[in-house]
Homo-oligomer: A and B are copies of this chain.
Amino acid sequence: MIESLLNCENAELTHKTQKGTPVVLSTRLRLARNLVGTPFPERASMAQRSDILSKCATHLSGLGKMTKGIFFEISNLSDLEKQVLVERHLISRELCESKQGSGVYIDKDQTCSVMINEEDHLRIQFLKSGFQLKNVWKQIDRFDSKLETDLDIAFDSEFGYLTACPTNLGTGLRASVMMHLPGLVLSGQMERVARAVSQLGITVRGLFGEGSDATGHVFQISNQQTLGEKEEAIIERLGNVLKTVIDHEVNARFKCLEDSGSKLLDHIGRAYGLLRNAHVVTSTEAMHHLSLLRLAVDFEMLPETKRADIDRFFIECQPGHVQYSANEGIEPDARDVYRATKLRKELASLPSLDFDKVTVLP
């Protein structure tokens, strides 16, 4: 059912990496919205959930953004298909586990996805590669306005948008940026930075949100508060904090090069050598090494044109993607062999690492 998403050659996360974008992988905004006069999904009866689903889906199909979009009822998807959508950040793990009567509408380029009957009736998400908080805010805001012209959305003059969980009350906005922070991790500064950032009301989490690890040195950094601040102010404040994090990351990278250049080049060299030659690679190891290849692009040791491929592998090396493309019945061991084969093949055309581009003190 999901082939068209996987085969799309214009998908935001896998095909739209921009040139010269170190540190920030992608920007994602989501709005929580609920319909007036209907219980929240968790409290709604099966019939009510079903009503909400069909009402919202119909409405979404009429929006310009969703022309050529695709709708899935979650109960029609296999576990593997759900996992693939989670790995593409198009649906949440929570939606996978939801009761009957939930779904997702995804636009053709996979920039926009709207989950129906997740924790809230509607979870609208816009996702763009690179650091584009303001731009993505404009897009999601315009989409939300259109959506609200016909749908009666629960809004309180005092509390703002009403949501199933009070932590989303107010704007219902979660803005999160996927950051690639190998410099901070390798120099041992990540924990300190995360602590400092969290004191500013900003959350730092791993690649797949709450409780997940920072595989591949990738962190999701997002606003905590949704209440008491205007959307533009939330985004402005988050953006400013992230700019500081980017500065710290860039400094950490150069400090690593200066203080222990050989060690850093060793990490990068080994990652390159392993991905191009190994025959058994777990997804965690793949992510870790791909992260170092992305760093090599930042350091101009690999051509800028390879950045997009590396970002695509970040997604395509996830267990679900590998299993889906290999065949459903494959065993975990065979999955690691399949992943290694794919990486060797795809990376065969990489030029040698150009270590001379990097100036390292002896």
Contact = CB atoms under 8 A, between A and B. Distances in A.
Contact of A279 (B265, B277, B280): B265
A350 to B, nearest CB: 11
Interface stretch (A1-9, A23-31, A48-56, A267-275): A267-275
A353 B262 CA distance: 26
Interface string A328-348: 000000000100100010001
A269 B275 CA distance: 9
Chain multiplicity (copies): 2
B277 A262 contact: no
Contacts of A266: 278-280, 340
Contacts of A353: 277
A153 to B, nearest CB: 54
Interface string A169-186: 000000000000000000
B278 A263 contact: no
Contacts of A340: 262, 266
A274 B280 CA distance: 15
A217 interface: no
Contacts of A344: 269
B277 A272 contact: yes
A33 interface: no
B269 A279 contact: yes
A271 to B, nearest CB: 8
| Max chain B Cβ within 10 angstroms of own Cβ: one of A273, A277, A278, A340 | A277
A276 interface: yes
Contacts of A272: 273, 277
Q: Which 8 A-B pairs have the closest CB atoms?
A: A273-B273, A273-B277, A269-B277, A266-B279, A266-B280, A265-B279, A262-B337, A262-B279
Interface of A: 262-263, 265-266, 269-270, 272-280, 337, 340, 344, 348, 352-353, 355
20 contacts: A262-B279, A262-B280, A262-B337, A263-B280, A266-B278, A266-B279, A266-B280, A266-B340, A269-B277, A269-B279, A269-B344, A270-B278, A273-B273, A273-B274, A273-B275, A273-B276, A273-B277, A277-B353, A279-B355, A348-B352
